């Protein structure tokens, strides 16, 4: 049994990506899954000057330790104007300054959604490309388009999309056993 950490790149209290994350996390069988909200840990906007003057914020150290305590990650990537949110980018910036390989040995499942037809695909693609730079291995990814049409009451309404989630979860779970 592997320890899986599930979190979102959104800091919104009404995040649709958090809703999708919770749904996906609840479908993972045979592993210990912890859904984590990182908004409780303060992280100022990254700057070299801030780092030089005040050092590493305690929030970055706490988040890094939580990630290190898990074997794998499920990350829900939200999108702002065709890119990852400033909040998510800021987490990556701080963690990479603390430890360049903060994702070393972590197998990762990326998911995303948005109200639009692309389902945050641009942010998802960016994240797929950037996380391996920090040692992570992206095993699978899944984008749920048109959230408001395809997700209601904690369930994926579209059968084909629901089967797609099941497929990526099956592949992810099998990769965790290797």
Query: CATH number for the domain including 68?
Result: 3.40.50.360
Residues 6+ apart with CB under 8 A from 178: none
* Segment (H or E) for 131: none
Q: What is the pLDDT of residue 86?
A: 97
Domain that holds residue 147: 3-177
Residues 6+ apart with CB under 8 A from 129: none
Q: Please give the average pLDDT of every successive group of 10 residues along the chain, which has 178 residues.
A: 97 97 97 97 96 97 98 97 96 97 98 96 97 98 98 97 98 92
Residues 27-59 as b/e (b if ≥16 CB within 10 A, e otherwise) read: ebeeeebebbebbebebeebeeeebeeeeebeb
Q: What is the pLDDT of residue 178?
A: 78
Residues 6+ apart with CB under 8 A from 173: 28, 29, 30, 31
Q: How far is CA 162 from the centre of its chain?
A: 19
Q: What is the DSSP letter of 36?
A: -
174 by Cβ neighbours in 10 Å (0-12 / 13-18 / 19+) ranks as exposed
Residues 6+ apart with CB under 8 A from 47: none
HSE at residue 102, side-chain half, CA atoms within 13 A, is: 21
Q: Helix H segments across 72-118?
A: 86-98
- How many domains, in total, are found in the chain? 1
Distance in Å from the first CA to the final CA of the chain:
12
């Amino acid at each position: 049994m592997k320890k899986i950490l599930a979190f979102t790149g959104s800091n919104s209290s009404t995040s649709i990506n958090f809703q999708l994350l919770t749904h996906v996390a609840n479908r993972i069988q045979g592993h210990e899954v912890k859904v984590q909200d990182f908004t409780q840990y303060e992280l100022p906007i990254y700057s070299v000057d801030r780092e030089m003057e005040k050092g590493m914020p305690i929030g970055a150290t706490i988040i890094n330790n939580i990630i290190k305590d898990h074997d794998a990650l499920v990350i829900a990537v939200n999108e702002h104007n065709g890119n990852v949110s400033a909040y998510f980018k800021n987490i990556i910036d701080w963690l990479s300054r603390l430890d360049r390989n903060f994702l070393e040995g972590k197998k990762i499942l990326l998911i995303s959604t948005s109200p639009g037809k692309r389902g945050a695909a641009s942010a998802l693609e960016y994240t797929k490309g950037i996380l391996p730079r920090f040692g992570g291995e992206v095993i699978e990814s899944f984008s749920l388009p048109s959230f408001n049409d395809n997700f209601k009451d904690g369930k994926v309404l579209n059968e084909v999309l629901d089967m797609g989630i099941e497929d990526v979860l099956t592949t992810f779970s099998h990769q965790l056993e290797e």
